[in-house]
Amino acid sequence: AVECGSAAEALRAAGAGADIVLLDNFEPQALHAAAAAVKAAQPRVTVEASGGIALATLPRFLGPHVDAVSMGCLTHGAPALDFALRV
């Protein structure tokens, strides 16, 4: 898996044999264009969107060329649980 900050990086990573291309901190329009370019060049590559995606904005990041979405907000906002286990 390779984290990419631009469409050019994503295409290079896919061409070099990456199994997963992680498109990090892309605006939705740029994300969809980059994902389409990667899939056109390397259809077998998994394209994952990440960075700055919240539940409210999630639908804007979903599309036909995006295979997975990572959302840090699911764990960043989770409260800690203090517990003990005695055996």
CATH of the domain at 52: 3.20.20.70
* pLDDT (0 to 100) of residue 83: 84
Q: Is residue 44 part of a domain?
A: yes
Average pLDDT of span 71-77: 75
| Average pLDDT of the residues of the chain | 93
Residues 6 or more apart whose CB falls under 8 angstroms from that of 38 comprise: 7, 10, 11, 14, 21, 45, 47, 65
Q: Is residue 86 part of a domain?
A: no
Average pLDDT of span 6-31: 97
**Structural domain of residue 29, as residue ranges?**
2-74
C-alpha–C-alpha distance, residues 12 and 76, integer Å:
31
Q: Is residue 43 part of a domain?
A: yes
| pTM for this model (two decimals) | 0.83
